[in-house]
Amino acid sequence: MRCRQHAANKRYEVAAVFPDTITGGGDYLKRPGMMALLSFIDAHPNERFIVIFDDLKRASRDTRAYLDLRDAFRARGAALDCLIMKLGDTPEDEFMRPTWRRRAR
């Protein structure tokens, strides 16, 4: 709901919604929701998408996973937007981005 409101506030058209109900770690790029999202973007190569996350930690719990996720979207020409953190690409943004740590198992 918050992502839809965010999209409306920014005047983004919502093309599709891809929920993720899985919790815990693992390869975020191989989760069913993420795979469906990436397949959707791949199926529309001439369109540019902005992918909105409520909380980016729902999609990556550490810096490496975030960078892999970011690169997967960049390769497809898609931008990321997050409700609770700024996702810029300037050196200052990179420096200010939080570093996530894996939880001990």
End-to-end CA distance of the chain: give it in Å, rounded.
Answer: 32
| Domain limits, the chain | 2-18+26-96
Predicted local distance difference test score (pLDDT) of residue 20: 78
Tell me the pLDDT tens digit for each residue of 20-68: 777 766 677 888 888 999 999 999 999 999 999 887 776 666 777 778 8
pTM: 0.75
- Give the up-direction half-sphere exposure of residue 75: CA atoms within 13 A in the CB hemisphere: 9
